[in-house]
């Protein structure tokens, strides 16, 4: 029977006087970025879903979703409509085990393969895609099952458990001496200002690189985050040291007549001189400073964690830390209670003293 490709990229096969859709046995995705900013993987259903993500989410979310779907279907190797639950379990196993000859190991246990948190994120993306197919009546049932049923007791109902259950690890932070060593290893005032924005103000990497001159309030000692995570805006108090470093950078380093004049942090030399600094550029700066300082770890997010932890240790209210961090839920902020050195110890000491006092009162009452 003749087979044609429709204008929308759908394979159709002649069936009498009509045409019907063909479900491919195998499909290999190929990530392509269009001139208008659209992302495509080469399958109509997947591309339609990515268009929806593009319409309702930020650019980084779109890129992450496209990459996760590319990885999933690249491993499964099937048409989206032909994927079964068994294929999902096989994907989890393949991601966890890693390639046979892989030299990459997990830091947590030394085995090959990806962390459970990464696999969980990819499954979340795939689950969203199949929820879209079910909602648009492209599919009757999602192959992403909630997990195997489990029973905790005889009188409780059976509950589904997650397919992947990663350990929620505490973030790593830097000691004060490590922060000093890192700042001392920076060679430019621009670099120092960016690091201080993260370690003194708790800004995310994207928030630092997105700062515009109109966002700086020097007299008020705060900055405006116009495009935070989830599209949330906020005002962030900032140390005077940050503004001093920015002033030194503008006076001695920032090129004149630059292309991206509205952004604070730009490339200082080379063919991209004057253009907005990229995330890769900031990572290279931080990696070089980390190596010169002799530190084993110091990522952008660890600098942010360090700031928020120190603020909590200094007595800043949890709600204030939440506002500083730009967290939507205070549950995301509670992790800094456990990172703070003295919070749990102080709470335990107060409770222990109360218990001891009550025991002493009971003992004296019994004796009399």
Catalytically active residues, by annotation? 204, 229, 301, 304, 327, 336
What sign does the dihedral 91-29-229-300 (CA atoms) show?
positive
Going along the chain, which residue ranges are E strands? Answer: 3-5, 11-15, 18-21, 32-33, 39-40, 149-150, 159-160, 216-217, 222-225, 234-237
Tokens of 203: 């800004």
The torsion region of residue 344 among left (phi > 0), alpha (psi -120 to 50) and beta comes to: alpha
**Long-range CB contact pairs, 298-304, < 8 A, 24+:** 298/174, 298/178, 298/182, 300/198, 300/204, 300/205, 301/171, 301/204, 301/205, 302/171, 302/172, 302/173, 302/174, 303/174, 303/195, 303/198, 303/199, 304/198, 304/199, 304/202, 304/203, 304/204
DSSP bridge pairs for 20: 13
334: Cβ contacts below 8 Å, ≥ 6 apart: 318
116: Cβ contacts below 8 Å, ≥ 6 apart: 96, 164, 165, 166, 167
Tokens of 311: 């603020």
Secondary structure (3-state) at 37: coil
Q: Nearest-CA neighbor of 228 among 203, 246, 262, 198? A: 203
């Amino acid at each position: 029977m003749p087979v044609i490709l429709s204008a929308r990229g759908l394979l159709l096969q002649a069936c009498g006087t009509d045409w019907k859709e063909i479900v491919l046995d195998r499909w290999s995705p190929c990530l392509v970025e269009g001139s208008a900013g659209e992302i495509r993987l080469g399958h109509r259903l997947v591309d339609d879903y990515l268009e929806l993500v593009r319409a309702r989410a930020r650019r980084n979310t779109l890129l992450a979703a496209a990459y996760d779907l590319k990885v999933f279907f690249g491993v499964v190797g099937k048409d989206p409509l032909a994927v079964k639950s068994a294929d999902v379990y096989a994907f989890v196993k393949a991601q966890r085990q890693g390639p046979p000859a892989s030299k990459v190991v997990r830091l947590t246990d030394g085995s090959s393969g990806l962390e459970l948190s990464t696999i969980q994120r990819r499954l979340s993306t795939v689950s969203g895609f199949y929820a879209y197919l079910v909602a648009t009546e492209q599919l009757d049932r999602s192959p992403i099952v909630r997990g195997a049923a489990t029973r905790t007791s005889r009188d409780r109902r059976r509950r589904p458990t997650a397919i992947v259950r990663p350990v929620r690890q505490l973030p790593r932070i830097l000691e004060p001496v490590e922060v000093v060593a890192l700042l001392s290893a920076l060679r430019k005032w621009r670099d120092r200002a960016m690091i201080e924005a993260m370690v003194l103000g708790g800004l995310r990497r994207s928030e630092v690189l997105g700062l515009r001159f109109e966002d700086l309030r020097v007299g008020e000692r705060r900055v405006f985050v116009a495009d935070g995570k989830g599209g949330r805006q906020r005002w962030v108090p900032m140390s005077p040291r940050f503004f001093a470093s920015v002033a030194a950078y503008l006076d001695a380093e920032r090129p004149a007549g630059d292309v991206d004049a509205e952004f604070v942090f730009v490339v200082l030399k080379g063919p991209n001189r004057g253009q907005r600094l990229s995330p890769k550029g900031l990572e290279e700066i931080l990696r070089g400073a980390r190596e010169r300082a002799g530190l084993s770890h110091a990522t952008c997010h660890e600098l942010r964690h360090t700031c928020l932890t120190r603020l909590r240790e200094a007595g800043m209210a949890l709600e204030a830390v939440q506002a500083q961090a730009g967290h939507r839920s205070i549950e995301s902020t509670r992790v800094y209670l456990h990172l703070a050195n003295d919070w749990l110890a102080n709470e335990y000491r107060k409770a222990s003293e109360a218990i001891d006092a009550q025991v002493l009162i009971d003992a004296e009452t019994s004796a009399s």
